[in-house]
Structure 1
Amino acid sequence: MRIFVLSGQSNMAGRGGVHHGCWDGLVLPECAPDPSILRLSAALQWEEAREPLHANIDTTKTCGVGPGMAFARAALPSEGNPGVGVGLVPCAVGGTAIREWARGEELYEQMMCRARTAAGYGEIEAVLWYQGESDAESDAAAAAYRKNVERLIANVRADLGMPQLPFIQVALASGNERNLEKVRSAQFSVDLPNVVTVDAMGLALNEDNLHLTTMSQVKLGKMLAEACIRNFLTATYNGEKSLPLDVSLSSIVITTVEMLILS
């Protein structure tokens, strides 16, 4: 099983289709359940994945559609090898700043526990990270964002014993305008191997002007899958072990415009 850790804050947890605290229940075909896609539940049990993927994981507010299911369906082996499925490990929690994901903090340790449990059933292929809106609320947090996200990546790799573990981060689509570009600049400036960025800027937002719509989450999931397949997974998708590449972030950015060209 190909395992992917999904972490960050509310746009990773998913607020697509959530209006006035209620989810509309709309599940597009790209997010429909598939028996080859599992999720690790809050009780650390594998179950068929379905929206909302972060139900009972992000309990801060109502969850809706995130990028995880669309990512998983797009990342499934194209030749349908029944022995190769996707295991999703949802860990995101809305409203969290990156300091809350520091080693030793509750959220970080929960993520590590869930990742280690999942690793007993397959190989962790990548961490998908969408976070930073909370840090855009503070001048100091925005200024320190690059240092903090690089430390997070280094800590996760060290604690999982996977020094080349791929990270696919999402550059913010929204946030406090005062510091939004500062955080985005920090995200694009991360200088670590096997880190790539998918740019969410330009994707449509809910009426709150902060969270991605359901359709935007589908698009983002496909963009994340494209980035993952292009940079980190074998081209054959024949069930063999994937082969991560040594990729520099500075040269790899998947944008919404590029995704439209690819689709």
Structure 2
Amino acid sequence: MENASTISKKWIFILSGQSNMSGRGGVHAGHWNGAVPTACHPCNSILRFTASSSWEEARDPLHFDIDATKTCGVGPGMPFATALLPRLPPGSTIALVPCAIGGTAIREWERGKKLYNEMVRRSKEAAGDGEIKAVLWYQGESDTSSEHAARSYKLNLERFIGDVRDDLQLHSLPFIQVALASGDKQHIEQVRKAQLGIDMPNVVCVDAKGLPLKEDHLHLCTEAQVKLGNMLAEAYINHFLSPNA
């Protein structure tokens, strides 16, 4: 097996969006309880790209030094990698690149803005050691707060996907996006309709609706994050993993 010091080619996955991607599972009153489900246990074949652009063994919270002004806990990244790893060729390494920032609207992810530029920069740096296989994107709660943002969401998301593919020079890069489980009730269905209605090549949607939320009615609980990670892995396996991988 590969480890952080003997790195060859990696299966690289970009984790981006807002707080339900960076992870709030197990976080209460600004403190993470430290509980790590079996699906999130560290493994020397699952790596994390740090804020200082180095590789280390991945463990939750994956985004602690990226979404650094918030308290991060369990997210979908580790259960995704844990579920996917056994389906890859023996000796494979999954490399996760955390980029999500809590509380961000899609307009903050436009090409040329700080969050977008950082995501592209980190993705390019990480790709020096492997191949970017997909972007996992969970964002949109912040865009349910106004009718204008909700109405514009589909166009903005399509533009975002196209820009990322162009700037990474990966024009068929898979995107697995998550349809919202929470948000402002007045506009959430409009954003969900946009997410579920994206019709672009190599873009699939996993629906988080119905997954259990924490007491804040906004963030997925730890159990839900594990379930979502498994759903994301299943989507990647079913849509993008070659039988001969």
Question: When the two structures are superposed, what TM-score results if normalisation uses the length of structure 2?
Answer: 0.95
- What does residue range 19-98 of structure 1 map to in structure 2 within 5 Å? 19-78=28-87, 81-82=90-91, 84-98=92-106
- Partner residue of 1:142? 150
Structure 1 vs Structure 2: percent identity of aligned residues? Answer: 61
- Partner residue of 1:193? 201
Unpaired runs of 5+ residues, structure 2, are 1-9
Cα separation, 1, equivalents of 2:16 and 2:29: 24
List structure 1 segments (4+ residues) > 2 angstroms apart after TM superposition: 77-80
Q: What amino acid does structure 2 have at the position aligned with 1:54?
A: H
Cα separation, 1, equivalents of 2:122 and 2:88: 29
The answer as to 2:156 corresponding to 1:160 is no
Match for residue 230 of structure 1 among 213, 238, 241: 238
The answer as to 2:120 corresponding to 1:122 is no
Cα separation, 1, equivalents of 2:87 and 2:155: 38
Cα separation, 2, equivalents of 1:228 and 1:104: 29
Cα separation, 2, equivalents of 1:153 and 1:60: 26
Q: What amino acid does structure 2 have at the position aligned with 1:27?
A: V
The answer as to 2:160 corresponding to 1:184 is no
Q: What SS does the aligned partner of 2:213 have?
A: coil
The answer (yes or no) to whether the contact 1:157–1:163 under 8 Å persists in 2 is yes
Q: What amino acid does structure 2 have at the position aligned with 1:15?
A: R
Aligned pair count reads: 236
- Partner residue of 1:6? 15
Cα separation, 2, equivalents of 1:156 and 1:60: 25
1:115: Cα distance to partner? 0.2
- Partner residue of 1:206? 214
Cα separation, 2, equivalents of 1:111 and 1:204: 29
Structure-2 change in CA distance of 1:161 and 1:138 (3 Å): same
Cα separation, 2, equivalents of 1:80 and 1:213: 32
Deviations 1:32-81 (A, max 9, x none): 00000000000000000000010110013100000000000111143761
- What does residue range 89-108 of structure 1 map to in structure 2 within 5 Å? 89-108=97-116
Cα separation, 1, equivalents of 2:77 and 2:212: 17
Cα separation, 1, equivalents of 2:102 and 2:128: 27
Cα separation, 1, equivalents of 2:169 and 2:87: 30
Structure-2 change in CA distance of 1:48 and 1:175 (3 Å): same
Question: When the two structures are superposed, what TM-score results if normalisation uses the length of structure 1?
Answer: 0.88
Deviations 1:95-143 (A, max 9, x none): 0000000000000000001000111111100000000000001110000
Q: What SS does the aligned partner of 1:186 have?
A: helix
The alignment's C-alpha RMSD in Å is 0.9
